[in-house]
Amino acid sequence: MHRLASSVALTAALFAISGCSDGDVRPPAPTSSQASDDPTTAPPCDSTALEPEPAEPEVAVLDPVRAGDLDRTIAVAAVRHLAGVVGPREATGPAYRQAAGWVSRRLGRLGYDVVRQRVDVPAGESWGVAVPAGTSVNVVATPPGLEPGDPHLVVGAHLDTVPQAPGAEDNASGVGVLLAVAEAVAQRRTRLPVVLVAFGAEEPRGPGDADHHYGSRRYVALMGPRERRALRAMVSLDRVGVGDRVPIGSATASDPVQRSLLVAAGRAGVPVVADPEERSSDHWSFVRDGLPAARLGSTPYAGYHSAGDVPEVVSPDQLGRVGRLVLEWLAPK
C-alpha cells in the first residue's frame, strides 16, 4: 500500500514538472530538426509512460491445518440434530432425504462444490425390519477447482441407519466428525485436497456381504481411471463416539493407510488400538476394488442397532479425539 502511494506521488510530480495534466492539450510532436536544434523543446506528454505498473495480485497463503483446529461442538450438535431431531434414517425414506439435504446445505455454506449421487437400493430386511426398494443418495463435497486427475484424499461417513435406531453412534457420530473436519479444512491448507462424502445405504438389507455398503460401492463404481489413480487414501468414520481409545481398522492384517493413521495418532497424542481384518464399513468398498482405505471406529456399545442409540450414548471427548486424529492425518508434513 505504501509503495502504491509513492508511485502516485512520483507520477504527479513528473506531470507538474512537464507542465502536463490530464486536461492539457498536447503540442504537436517536434520535427527531427527541432528536436536536434532546440534542446528546450519538450516532447509531447505521454501519461501512459508515467503511470505506475499495476501491482501484482496478492495470493492468500492458507495456514496449515492442525489437530487443535477441531471444533468438537460442531460434531456434538450434528449428533443431537441427526439422532435427536431427524431420528431413524432408513436409506430410502423421507427422513434420510431430510438428513441428506441438511448435510448438503452445511457443506455448501462452507464453500464446497456439493453434488448428490443417486444410489439404487434393493428391498430386503434390515436388522429384522422389512425395507422397500428405492433410491438413496451420496452427498459428495469437493474443494472448488479439484480436477479428477488431481491427487486427493477421501474422508467419508455413512448417513443412514437401520429402521429402528435414531443412530446417534451409528452413525451420526461419524457424520458429526465429518462436518467438524469439513469446517476445519475449508479455510486451511491440507497435505492434499480432501473430498468429503456422506454415504447412503451402508446398513445391511440382507445377511450377506453383498447386501450392504450400497452407497460406497456406487461411489467407487463411478470413479473414472484418472480419479482412481489420483486417490491416495480413503478413511471411513463409522461409530466413532464411544470409548476412550480410537480403533483404527484395516481390511487385512495391516496396510499403509492404517499405519499412517497410527503415526498421526501418535503425533496428536490420541490413544488408539489397531483393529485388523475389519471390513464392516465403507472403506471395504474401496479396498476390495484395489483402492487404499481404512476405518476409524467400531467400539462395541449397548445401544447398537436399537432404539437406545440416542445422543446420550455418544461421548464428546471421543468425538474430539477422532476429529483431532483426522486433522493430524490431513495436515501438511
Which H, E and C letters describe 96-112, residue by residue? HHHHHHHHHHHHHHCCC
| CA geometry: angle 72, 73, 79, nearest 5 deg | 95
Burial 196-222 (b: 16+ CB within 10 A, else e): bbbbbbbbbbeeeeeebbbbbbbbbee
Tell me the whole-structure pTM to 2 decimals.
0.83
3-state SS class at 151: coil
| Other Cβ atoms closer than 10 A to 231 | 19
Integer angstrom CA distances of residue 31 from 34, 41, 44, 45: 5, 10, 12, 15
147 phi and psi angles, rounded to 5 deg? -95, 155
Q: What is the pLDDT along the chain (333 residues), one digit of tens a residue?
A: 333 333 333 333 333 333 343 333 333 444 434 443 443 344 444 444 445 666 666 657 899 999 999 999 999 999 999 999 999 999 999 999 999 999 999 999 999 999 999 999 999 999 999 999 999 999 999 999 999 999 999 999 999 999 999 999 999 999 999 999 999 999 999 999 999 999 999 999 999 888 999 999 999 999 999 999 999 999 999 999 999 999 999 999 999 999 999 999 999 999 999 999 999 999 999 999 999 999 999 999 999 999 999 999 999 999 999 999 999 999 998
Q: Which three cell numbers stand for residue 80?
A: 443431537
CA 239 to chain centroid: 19
pLDDT at 56: 60
Q: Which residues, in sequence order, are CB contacts of 82 under 8 Å at separation 6+?
A: 89, 99, 102, 159, 167, 168, 172, 175, 176
> How many Å apart are CA 137 and CA 119, to the nearest integer?
5
